[in-house]
Structure 1
Amino acid sequence: MSQPTPYFVRPTKRCLSDLGMGFPALELPLHQVEDALVAKAQQVPAEVAAGSAERIRAIKDRIWFKVKVSSARGAVTELDHAVDHGPEVAEAGAWWWMGAAGKRQEDSSNDFYRSLTAEVTRAGRGTGSTSSEHLLPADVDIRRLEAELAVQITLSIRRVVRKVIAASIKTGRACAATFTHHRIAALVRARDGEAYLAVTAEGFIDFRLIAVILGSVPHVAHSDWLPEPQGVFGINPEPGQITYSTMVSAASQAEIMEEFSGEDLSDL
């Protein structure tokens, strides 16, 4: 099996239910939920690469691996990179999933692996094999992944906007950050005892993302921003660029500078 980088294992909704948990806030990726078994599952991809992972032999239709912490047990698999995924999985690198969890209860019909064996056997009845397809991520798991990705993009944009503003406050010049297909620039300038901020965005054709950019500055309402199609402060927008300006308070500037007080801003 090929190995993703970085390695992480997401619990499915079914697995979280087995653990007595629901989906956490979108800001928290599922592989980071506070649970000992989920934390232990993060080691499985490396164990598979090293040849030390223990396979669940009773499941015949695809390869699943055991996860053990105290009496807690789980089942982890890697999606087939060729057929088992959509673009969201590939974008996030979410190849590894824990599909079920339970408790080790030796000599009991409620033992996790015994119950799991019975479950996949019933699901595969008439096929001549077991079926663990229902343990793979379902539509709700992919929708959750999509939502997480959207939140991560939003948080990343907000942080970059504030960082280029911090760099401009510190240096007194226009500062910019470039992504693969996007660019954000900011210039803070004092005038008549007040501070003005101009932000230029390039490559952001989705106005929902523009709203995220403008909403990234603390204590500034969306209605306080003015479009500057002809440019401002010597910034002349080029084709594909959008420039907005606003007044920015001392409190807003101080909050932004505090956020990046320990970071090197010289590369912007």
Structure 2
Amino acid sequence: MHRVRPTLRVLRDDLKLSLPSAQIPLNTISHPLLDKASDQYADPDTAHERIRAIDDVVLFKVKVQRWRGAVWMDDDPDAEVPTWIVAAGTREEGSSDDFYAALGAGGKSARARYNAAHDQALTTDTYSGHLLPTRDDHDRYRLEAATRFAVRLNFTIRDLARGSLHDGHEHAADFPGFRLGIQIRADDGNETYAAIRITGSAPANLTAMILGRVPGYAARPLLVTGASSR
């Protein structure tokens, strides 16, 4: 199931949660508001309630227990992350909409600051650009993707190397955009030969990354007898 992703600001400032290592994607963090948003926005065809107090961007409501949130949906069909939580807070006792009223008031204050600092004034009542995902948010997402790739590469290379050592044949696995094949032959423990085959579009430094992960390579260099990338 697709899960809604919090921005770094929401995670640290609004939800008061610590930033985990890159091995933990932010969209997998469990929190009542994040879980509710993921359930509520799993179906793109489901109707959602817009936050009317914000008029410069389209934000939607998500509510659970005392938690309130603002969800932004990226309309770029190629967006890496389509749905974000860009603001979060709690409802005060006896009030049903204080969070959204405060969000609107904050948007008006941000608009006033923006207009004071720019020659071309905004014509909307609010400004919410500071809430939307930043370069840091997208960099964090790509770091998580790179970390997942490295972890998968580690496990896959060990499995392929183990299989090839067992029967002497090439063992291969498919990755997005390329296919990786490894063949390792050992001569009674005297010399070990490794062949790396990369077919498809792959990062330029992939061969070095792979060799660095072949078991025993760091302690006892292997002789590469064949490598191809195309």
Q: Calculate the TM-score normalised by the size of structure 1.
A: 0.69
Within the candidate set 73, 86, 98, 2:68 is matched to: 73
Aligned to 2:118: none
1:89-104 correspondence runs (5 A) = 90=79, 93-104=80-91
Partner in structure 1 of residue 194 of structure 2: 198
1:50 to 46, 50, 57: 46
Give, as a single letter, the amino acid of the residue that structure 2 aligns with 1:206.
A
Amino acid across the alignment from 1:216: R
CA shift for structure 1 position 48? 4.8
Matches within 5 A, 1:112-261: 112-125=99-112, 127-169=123-165, 171-179=167-175, 181-192=177-188, 196=192, 198-202=194-198, 204=202, 206-207=204-205, 209-218=206-215, 220-228=216-224, 231=225, 236-238=226-228, 240=229
Structure 2 residue 17 is the aligned partner of structure 1 residue 21 = yes
Q: Distance in 1 between matches of 2:124 and 2:28?
A: 38
Pair 1:107–1:124, CA change in 2 (3 A): farther
Deviation readout 1:21-59 (Å, 9 max, x if unpaired): 1321101111111322112221233355122x2221211
Structure 2 vs 1, CA of residues 54 and 195 (structure 1 numbering), >3 Å: closer, same or farther? Answer: farther
Answer whether contact 1:8 1:94 (CA < 8 A) is retained.
no
Whole-angstrom distance in 1 between the partners of 2:193 and 2:181:
11
- Contact (CA 8 Å) 1:182, 1:201: kept in 2 or not? no
Relative to structure 1, is the Cα distance of residues 182 and 227 closer, same or farther in structure 2, using a 3 angstrom cutoff? farther
SS in 2 for 1:222: coil
Relative to structure 1, is the Cα distance of residues 29 and 195 closer, same or farther in structure 2, using a 3 angstrom cutoff?
A: farther
2:116 counterpart residue number? none
Report how many aligned residue pairs link the two structures.
Answer: 218
Cα deviation 1:63-92 (Å, max 9, x = unaligned):
21112221111111111307xxxxxx73xx
Residue 117 (structure 2) aligns with: none
CA RMSD of aligned residues (A): 2.9
Whether the aligned pair in 2 keeps the contact of 1:11 and 1:97 (CA below 8 Å) is yes
For the residues of structure 2 that align with 1:170 and 1:44, how far apart are their CA atoms? 49
Q: State the match for 2:5 in structure 1.
A: 10
Say which SS state the counterpart of residue 118 (structure 1) adopts: helix
The 1:160–1:199 alpha-carbon spacing in structure 2 relative to 1, beyond 3 Å, is: farther
Q: Distance in 1 between matches of 2:63 and 2:8?
A: 19
Contact kept, 8 Å, 1:184 with 1:199, in 2: the verdict is no
CA contact (8 A) 1:12 1:137 kept: yes
Distance 1:57 1:39 in 2: 23
1:30 matched to 2:17? The reply is no
Percent identity, please.
35
Q: What SS class does the counterpart of residue 124 from structure 1 fall into?
A: helix
**Residues 204 and 197 of structure 1: CA distance in aligned 2, closer, same or farther (over 3 Å):** farther
CA drift at 1:171: 4.7
Partner of 2:156, secondary structure, is helix
Aligned to 2:54: 59
Supply the distance in 1 between the matched residues of 2:70 and 2:28 (Cα, whole angstroms). 17
Cα separation, partners in 2 of 1:216 and 1:41, compared to 1, 3 Å: farther
CA distance in 1, matches of 2:203, 2:73: 35
| Residue aligning to 1:86 | none
- Residue 98 of structure 1 deviates from its aligned partner by 0.4
Q: What's the CA shift for 1:217?
A: 4.0
